């Protein structure tokens, strides 16, 4: 980023945004303007700083290159005056849009302002004063409608004519991506990075508090019960996603394209059962219907809001039994031609999510008191000890 001295970032107080901010500060010499709201009378920079510390990303040298911009993604012009917004548009050289309200329970209308209207304001910023590129973190769910008809999902595939997502969040991301496609057709250089299950840091084992897939794993461990299901997941560590995203964004010949920042292989749910069991956590296999009923009962008795989205992530028992589950052959081929091309000269590879990686995540959670140490604690691979010690 030789000529791009100032970048604008949304989502710096979130999970993926924190890692993208870190990579922007490491891979470039840019000054990063971060859109952030004051929260509970805590100003922007302390919020950004504390969030990066939470993920072990903070370096005090970063502070002089981070400029908090007080604003709200859900408001027109982020709540700024026309003069302030115009000044911002004339200052920044590129935009990284990672901010969104992630909620798998809220309906579309509750998420429209931050996720859809916020994206419209990003487009407005991109064309204010001078044209500037937009780098947008999307989800693979925006093209889920093509999974049935096309077994190979190329990166160039655009969102279908209507969303097939069963959550308001998925629908809001579909609408936002459609808006960015229209902006691209009108000349705005928009790069779209599609993600799937973005997991914790493969180097440190740090997992985000509200990651949905990790809540599934954690619930299974705490309840000592795992569903016996045939389902597949594409798990991608956040450190790979952020490092690849920023590196690709700096390759100007790839600006304006789509990228699938995903794992090259799908993981079976039974793999995760084996990892849980192998680590020493006492768990029993339940039929899917039994596990689903247990989860519903737990939600009713505990009032834990974080358990409720799990119901949306997994199919209902009748649908699952009717389908017979998934096979590896059911999974689409997620082509990554653009991604591989842009990364061909970089030493950036997606780590495997295997027993060693899961042991690192489990060890972090035990260290932080999130999970209890199993009574039969199996030996941890040396590589895990080195990163968590």
Reported confidence tier of residue 305, pLDDT bands at 50, 70, 90: low
Is residue 147 a part of any domain in this protein? yes
**Does residue 384 surpass a pLDDT of 90?**
no
Shared domain check, 14 and 105: yes
Give 328's pLDDT tier (boundaries 50, 70, 90): low
CA 261/CA 193 separation, integer angstroms: 6
Are residues 174 and 296 part of one domain?
A: no
pLDDT of residue 36: 95
Cα–Cα nearest to 334, from 164, 170, 157, 185: 157
One domain, residues 34 and 171: yes
Q: Which of 126-130, 250-254, 296-300 has the lowest mean pLDDT?
A: 296-300
In the chain, what's the furthest Cα-to-Cα distance?
63
CATH number for position 35: 3.40.50.720
Residues 187 and 38 in one domain: yes
Which H or E run includes 227?
strand 225-227
Give the per-residue pLDDT at 41.
Answer: 60
- Are residue 88 and residue 157 in the same domain, yes or no? yes
Q: Are residue 283 and residue 243 in the same domain, yes or no?
A: no
* Shared-domain flag, residues 226 and 240: no
- What is each CA distance from 154 to 196, 257, 260, 276, in whole angstroms? 15, 12, 9, 34
Q: Decide: 135 and 97 in contact? Cβ < 8 Å.
A: yes
Q: CB atoms < 10 A from the CB of 368, how many? A: 11
Let me know if residue 332 belongs to a domain: no
Dihedrals phi, psi of 13, to nearest 5 degrees: -95, 10
| Residue 280 belongs to domain spanning | 212-232+267-327+354-388
From the number of C-beta atoms within 10 Å of its C-beta (0-12, 13-18, 19+), residue 374 rates as middle
At which residue do the structure tokens 């999307």 appear?
138
Residue 86 has pLDDT above 90, yes or no: yes
What does pTM read for this prediction? 0.92
Domain check: are 276 and 365 in the same one?
yes
Both 171 and 272 in one domain: the answer is no
Domain shared by 163 and 138, yes or no: yes
108 domain-assigned: yes
Q: Going by DSSP bridges, is the β-strand pair 232-233/134-139 parallel, antiparallel, or unpaired?
A: unpaired
Q: What is the spatial distance between Cα 78 and Cα 87, in angstroms, rounded to a whole number?
A: 13
**What confidence tens digit (pLDDT) does each residue in 208-248 have?**
987 888 888 988 998 999 998 888 899 999 999 999 999 99
Task: Specify whether 221 is located in the same domain as 143.
Answer: no
Which of 113-127, 221-235, 331-345, 367-381 is predicted least confidently?
Answer: 367-381
As for how many domains the chain has, the answer is 2
């Amino acid at each position: 980023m030789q000529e791009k001295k100032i970048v604008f970032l949304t989502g710096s107080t979130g999970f993926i945004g924190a890692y993208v901010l870190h990579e922007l500060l490491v891979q470039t010499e840019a000054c990063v303007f971060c859109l952030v709201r004051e929260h509970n009378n805590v100003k922007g920079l302390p919020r950004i700083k504390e969030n990066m510390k939470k993920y072990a990303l903070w370096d005090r040298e970063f502070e002089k290159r981070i400029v908090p911009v007080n604003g709200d993604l859900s408001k027109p012009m982020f709540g700024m005056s026309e003069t302030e917004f115009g000044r911002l548009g004339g200052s920044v050289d590129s935009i990284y849009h990672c901010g969104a309200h992630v909620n798998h329970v809220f309906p579309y209308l509750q998420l429209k302002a931050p996720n859809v209207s916020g994206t419209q304001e990003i487009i407005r910023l991109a064309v204010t004063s001078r044209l500037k590129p937009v780098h947008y973190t999307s989800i693979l769910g925006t093209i889920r409608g093509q999974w049935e008809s096309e077994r190979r999902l190329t990166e160039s595939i655009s969102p279908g004519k209507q969303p097939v997502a069963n959550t308001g969040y998925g629908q809001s991301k579909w609408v936002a991506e459609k808006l960015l496609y229209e902006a691209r057709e009108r000349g705005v250089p928009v790069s779209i990075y599609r993600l799937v299950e973005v997991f914790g840091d493969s180097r440190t084992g740090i997992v985000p508090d509200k990651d949905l897939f990790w809540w599934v794993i954690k619930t299974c461990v705490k309840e000592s019960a795992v569903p016996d299901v045939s389902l597949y997941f594409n798990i991608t560590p956040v450190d790979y996603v952020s490092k690849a995203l920023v590196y690709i964004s700096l390759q100007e010949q790839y600006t304006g394209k789509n990228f699938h920042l995903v794992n090259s292989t799908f993981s079976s749910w039974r793999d995760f059962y084996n990892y849980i069991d192998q680590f020493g956590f006492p768990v029993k296999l339940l039929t899917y219907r039994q596990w689903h009923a247990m989860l519903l009962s737990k939600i009713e008795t505990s009032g834990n809001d974080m358990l409720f989205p799990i119901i949306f992530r997994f199919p209902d028992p009748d649908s699952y039994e009717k389908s017979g589950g998934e096979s590896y052959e059911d999974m689409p081929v997620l082509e990554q031609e653009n991604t591989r091309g842009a990364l061909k000269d970089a030493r950036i590879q997606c780590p495997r999510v295997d027993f060693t990686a899961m042991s690192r995540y489990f060890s972090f959670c035990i260290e932080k008191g999130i999970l209890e140490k199993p009574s039969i604690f199996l030996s941890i691979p040396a590589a895990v000890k080195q990163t968590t010690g």
